[in-house]
Chain A
């Protein structure tokens, strides 16, 4: 990958899951080092799009390139945080991270000195060194995300795909996790695509937003995409975008002024 190449490039991509078309003819690019918020209602296809970027879901049509190459599973420079939690939660956080260190190589699951140093470094990078010895199951939501992010940044990826890392976190833990995204980007210079069905917690971290609904998408700065006009087009129904105190609310239906009702 040279400096000019986008981290992700889709060219006329069609993604479908059974009878449902999740992405009809999508073309867009994500630049190196960009943080993209992947937004959309539940079932819009956010997870499926991320899995397509990992080569786990084949597009019906079109081309997907990741880090300058046609997408394929097994790309080592792509980090992934899936929507579901890891298994084996009785294990220490260190072991949960370590399971992913060169885990695709054959052999015993023993870790050599180099691998151990790499795992320690990843945990340190995420400020999770003090969690390393604790059982994963006993960690709080925010602590778990630190550990899972440490596993995702193993091997210093150039692209990080995070599926709903904020779901089921309380607001403080959400803010903590979002701050980590900026810290990771500053350290690794990697591009990050982070999905969420809620935009507000992500606002401090993202450069652009990719909004997905009913097979269509819009990509751009938050102010240009999260608007009444664009979202009404995506949903195919009138919605109203309201901004209050730096936060954004998407409401169904057309705006009616209280005065009109009163009349």
Chain B
């Protein structure tokens, strides 16, 4: 399958995005902001549909929207990511607007499906380069702020007392999160962002109680799922996002069952 340029592109794009998603997801779960991540992807849907309507690339709209929403969430308050009702309302409004923008498309159904469930095989060279570049920058950013993000996630009040601004750290982290989510939306679609963002991270947290192990395991599991999904999709002809969702779920269930018990 590596003879096909579209498969190589897909493997590269999915690889870069899934590694970033695994890491970001691990921290996102620690911050108890999984639902905020879910909401960000829906805001991305609005951004993508809006961008297409304006004749811009969907990825540009995706990233602008998730980035703006991530920064706003981080800026509004330290713990806003946990306000389920408020986030759910914003999420619904975002989807509503996404539908509104779709209403003006000529190829309504195809566009909607691609955005909602991903279309990784349509990723062209330019998009692969853009995605890989964005992921590398985000990974570098996460490497830089990993320590304070961890501190603020586990001991928010102590971190604040040590001079870490919860707002600054929240904004920086959610900005990185926004890029990971936009990337995941490009690969598996906005509805299946959890498969790369939360599934592998949750499995890693079941399997290991160590920060260091978890931060290796989560991206490795995410990468494995993404590539296994692409391979299975290529040979079966069934949708790749379907396979990634299946592998993500299986990994999660297996990890939950294999969760090591206390000595």
Is B155 within 8 A of A151, CB to CB?
Answer: yes
| List of A residues within 8 angstroms of B158 by Cβ | 80, 82, 100, 151
Chain B, Cβ-Cβ closest to A102: B147
| List of A residues within 8 angstroms of B263 by Cβ | 133-134
Is B209 within 8 A of A92, CB to CB?
Answer: yes
- A104 contact from B144, B162, B206, B215, Cβ within 8 A: B162
Is B210 within 8 A of A73, CB to CB?
Answer: no
B64 within 8 A of A: no
B156 within 8 A of A: yes
B153 within 8 A of A: yes
Number of interface residues of A (CB under 8 A): 36
Is B148 within 8 A of A106, CB to CB?
Answer: yes
| List of B residues within 8 angstroms of A176 by Cβ | none
| List of A residues within 8 angstroms of B155 by Cβ | 82, 86-87, 99-100, 103, 151
Is B160 within 8 A of A73, CB to CB?
Answer: yes
Which residues of B are in contact with A by a Cβ distance under 8 Å? 30-32, 143-148, 150-164, 205-206, 209-212, 215, 262-263
Given contacts A74-B163, A84-B157, A107-B143, contact A91 B151 (CB under 8 A): no
Chain A: minimal CB distance from B120 (Å): 30
| List of B residues within 8 angstroms of A135 by Cβ | 209, 262
- Kindly state the separation between the CA atoms of A54 and B145 in the bound complex, as whole angstroms: 23
- Kindly state the separation between the CA atoms of A87 and B262 in the bound complex, as whole angstroms: 19
Q: Mark A106-119, 1 if CB is under 8 A from B, else 0.
A: 11111000000000
Chain A, Cβ-Cβ closest to B32: A87
30 contacts between A and B (CB under 8 A): A55-B161, A56-B161, A73-B161, A73-B162, A76-B162, A78-B161, A80-B157, A84-B157, A86-B155, A87-B32, A87-B153, A87-B154, A88-B154, A90-B206, A90-B209, A91-B211, A95-B210, A99-B150, A99-B154, A103-B150, A103-B159, A103-B164, A104-B148, A107-B144, A109-B150, A109-B211, A133-B263, A134-B262, A138-B262, A151-B158
